[in-house]
Amino acid sequence: MNVKITKPSKEIKTFRSLPASKSLANRSLIIRALCEESFKIKNLSNSDDTQVLNVALKNLSNPIIDIGAAGTAMRFLTALLSITPGERILTGSERMKQRPINELVNILNVLGAKIDYVEKEGYPPLKITGSKLNAKDISIKGNVSSQYTSALLMIAPYLEGVFNLTIIDKILSKDYIRMTIKLMEEFGAKVEWTGNKINVGKGSYQPKEIIIEGDWSAASYWFEIVSLSKNAMIELTGLKKESLQGDSVLPELFKTLGVDSAFTNFGIRIKNSATLCEFFEYDFTDCPDLAQTLAVTLIAKKIPFKLTGLDNLSIKETDRIKALVVEFQKLGVNIQAESNHTLLWKGGEEIMVPENHFVETYKDHRMALAFTPLSLVTKELVIKDPNVVTKSYPDYWSNLEEVGFGINYF
């Protein structure tokens, strides 16, 4: 199935309720699973990733746990199952079987875990036999997925002894690690983070009700829409100014890209302002999920750019750097990828949509989400495999339709 998007014929003035943060929801679910007493998680994300993890945690007695394309669930469950009694096979989609997990598995096995590879060495599926693990002084590379670090930290209070983790080299997605630690501390864990060293004392989580805030990643597509519109004003509810999410940097990123932001009692109000940026440069190390949104926005606004800190985009749902390069080449725009962590565009090229052009999504929700607002410039656009957005933003298409976009499936 495909979807044809046409730009609205009227100004966009609306209130939007965003999906809950799946990053906060997924971490809260793991903490609840470890807690001796259950607690309420209000406003749980309805994203595929969160729902898959929630179902898996309710069915830990199953001998085979299939988490599909949910990368967070794969990393978090690998750690959780390593200390949960019983033997299970943890598997996922074909793409998941191509995403390396050896760094996490190696560390867990050093701590005493019993994890074996069922098919290809270093990749899922995994055979995990739960057992008691002993805390040790260990190190992890900072330039691999931050979810490995978060997975280890969340189980750390339940290890025997004090858990000392040293992060080597550049730390990617640091704000996601910070989010994990803040949540752990809210539930009673004792964590110290100094420089590149993190220490977690033995203990247990204490139950408390939590309300999941709105998803700043999902908000990015509405910032993009306002930036590419005229006279648009949108109030996004459920967002917090003092947020644990690294993507809350959005107001700063879009300040010179035609979006004025003001926090309200319910969230944030965004509206059009003058575009002041002539060249855009930013390091996305702490917010890599925003890179696609910014790349599309900048090209649509004809603003040259240099985007850095994209080190781990190649191991996401797809190789996101390659996907951006290929899809824009089809539109007559040549962006350059350097050393797999930088994207450059010199500008001066016009977007030309060929007849019967389809934007490939590569089974990556953020490709569909980020490219769709481009229809405001091209007037219409066709996106392949639109259901891929359910991974993080299930109501995206209906939300767009409600504000005036034409959404036609075929």
351-366 pLDDT, tens digit each: 999 999 999 999 999 9
Domains 2-20+213-409 and 22-211 share a fold: yes
Instruction: Report the CATH architecture of 2-20+213-409.
Output: Alpha-beta prism (3.65)
Per-residue pLDDT at 311: 76
Per-residue pLDDT at 215: 96
pLDDT tops 70 at residue 21? yes
Phi and psi at 353, nearest 5°, equal -90, 110
Distance (Å, rounded) from C-alpha 175 to C-alpha 397? 29
pLDDT tops 70 at residue 316? no
Per-residue pLDDT at 317: 59
283 is catalytic: no
Q: Which one from 175, 247, 289, 385 is the annotated catalytic residue?
A: 289
Q: Give the torsion sign (CA, 388, 392, 398, 404).
A: negative
Per-residue pLDDT at 203: 96
Q: Where are the domains of the chain?
A: 2-20+213-409, 22-211
Give the Å distances, CA to CA, from 400 to 2, 181, 204, 260, 315: 16, 35, 43, 21, 29
Q: Per DSSP, which regions of 9-55 are E strands?
A: 13-17, 41-42
pLDDT tier at 144 (50, 70, 90 boundaries)?
Answer: confident
Per-residue pLDDT at 320: 87
Q: Using one digit for the tens of pLDDT, what is the confidence trace for 24-34?
A: 999 999 999 99
Q: Give the torsion sign (CA, 142, 148, 151, 157).
A: negative
Mean pLDDT of the chain: 94
Report CA dihedral (306, 328, 230, 281) to the nearest 10 degrees.
Answer: 0
Mean of the pLDDT values across residues 117-129?
A: 97
Q: Which amino acid appears at position 398 of this protein?
A: S
Q: What is the DSSP letter of 203?
A: -
pLDDT tops 90 at residue 190? yes
| Superfamily for domain range 22-211 | Enolpyruvate transferase domain (3.65.10.10)
Distance (Å, rounded) from C-alpha 121 to C-alpha 53? 24
Beta bridge pairs of residue 237 = 17, 267
Give the Å distances, CA to CA, from 140 to 102, 103, 124, 148, 317: 11, 8, 19, 9, 22
pLDDT tier at 312 (50, 70, 90 boundaries)?
Answer: low
Mean of the pLDDT values across residues 378-400?
A: 96
Comparing 157-171, 205-219, 268-282, the range with the smallest average pLDDT is 157-171
